[in-house]
Amino acid sequence: MKKDLINKAKIVLDGNFQEKGYSIPCKGLYPFQWKWDSGFIAIGFAHYDMDKAKQEVETLLKAQWQNGFIPHIVFHVESDTYFPGPDYHRSDLSPLSNKEYPSTGMTQPPVIGFTLEKIYNIASDKDDALKFVKKNIDKVYFNHQYFYENRDPQNEGLVFIYHNWESGTDNSPLWDDIWKTMNPPEYVFKRRDTDLVDPEQRPSKREYDHYLHIIEIAKEHNYSDEKIAELSPFLVQDPLFNTMLIKSNSSLIALYKLIGGNEDKIKQLEKWQEKSIKSFNSKLYDTELGAYIHYDLRNEKPIRFVSSSSFSPLYAGIPSKEQAKTLVNTMMSKFGDENMYLCASFDPTHERFNPKKYWRGPVWINLNWILYYGLKEYGFNEIAKRVKNDSIELIEKAGFYEYFDARKQIYKTENGGYGGNNFSWSAALLLDLINN
């Protein structure tokens, strides 16, 4: 059974790998290279095709900008199945963009640091893997430097995202109150996603108006980070995004130590790390909710909801043991009902929860993967095992979908797998979970 699933996962991954050395998340819906997808995908490939794992990372890093920025989508090809594409995003407007690789002017969670470490750990040929790490690590360091120097205007060690697409959790209810502060024009455009997937499972037209409006503002200022910090109606400190950065910092430190030398970089990383973790626990931890939360930097107020992102800091060793216990209690009391698979993307006890709609409730395999390792790190082995088994069971039952209904009941009568099928990171991270 497991062998069968492993083979199917490899077929999905191999089928999505492109000639130019990167993978699409899935056919039709996502025809380009996405940043954080590439990290997760590379980890999957590392288990059986090291060459593809390396290419995946290197192709992404080739698209890095002059200031260290790594874009959220790299448009390696033309495609008419996706909106908004390269002609809309216009990365060429930025004087710092990479003119060889058209991209968006926004980024995604910084996963490449820990991807390098995972690849190294999985590799059987350590010399070869270290050579690969050596060749690429400075680019990732440069990317972290970009974040701390351009995305942290109050010098707190917490970086901001300026667009919901930067979070990776696109249409989460977390952003609903920010949309209420905006009144964008009714843009006229032709979406492609809703031709490919049931609109019930995707963001609304009005939500898209907001998404586009933020990009319009950024474009007006040629993607200047300074102007964005000053003017973007969306400016958020996201615990998931910052967790990915902090985890990747740790990985860079570990890898630089393996390589030897690089004392200055290690020192700088440790400095960032100390400051980030301190601010994280003072600013993003909500004692009353017993969870980490987002902070709306534009409107200077906490965004007080519990989502799967609230538990992600376990993955980077951010909470104290006490806090970790509280987090797990919160998770189990809100998300852990026996009739539900772990872990819904948004608080199932909240009225904004929607079990079918993208990041408003369904289970996502990448978040489960992050939680699995985080829970294990703190010794919550039983719950970690449940997260892992639930992930495997969902894929076994429904297929390699993009996201999954958390309600067990549903699977008796219908397929609870939603969004794109043959989705790369679901396959890649399943391989990693099974091999662990």
Query: Site residues (CB under 6 A) for ligand GLC?
Result: 25, 30, 34, 36-37, 168, 170
Min dist. Cβ of residue 36 to ligand GLC (A): 6
Across the strands, what pairs with 407? 340
Min dist. Cβ of residue 155 to ligand GLC (A): 28
The string of DSSP codes covering 317-366 is T-S-HHHHHHHHHHHHHHH--TTB-S-BSB-TTSTT--TTSGGGS-B-HH
Q: Residue with CB nearest ligand GLC?
A: 25
Distance of CA 138 to the CA centre of its chain: 21
Give the residue among 405, 308, 375, 386 at the shortest CA–CA distance from 347: 308
207 or 286: CB nearest ligand GLC: 207
Min dist. Cβ of residue 25 to ligand GLC (A): 3
| CA dist., res. 169 & res. 192, Å (int) | 19
25 or 416: CB nearest ligand GLC: 25
Give the residue among 73, 262, 91, 68 at the shortest CA–CA distance from 148: 68
Across the strands, what pairs with 34? 73
Give the residue among 295, 330, 288 at the shortest CA–CA distance from 311: 330
156 or 193: CB nearest ligand GLC: 193
Residues annotated as catalytic (active site), given as ranges: 170, 402
34 or 69: CB nearest ligand GLC: 34
Min dist. Cβ of residue 65 to ligand GLC (A): 19
Helix 112-122 vs helix 126-150: angle between axes, to the nearest 10 degrees? 170
Q: How many CA atoms lie within 13 A of 127 on its CB side?
A: 0
Give the chain's end-to-end CA distance (angstroms, integer).
17
25 or 102: CB nearest ligand GLC: 25
Min dist. Cβ of residue 34 to ligand GLC (A): 4
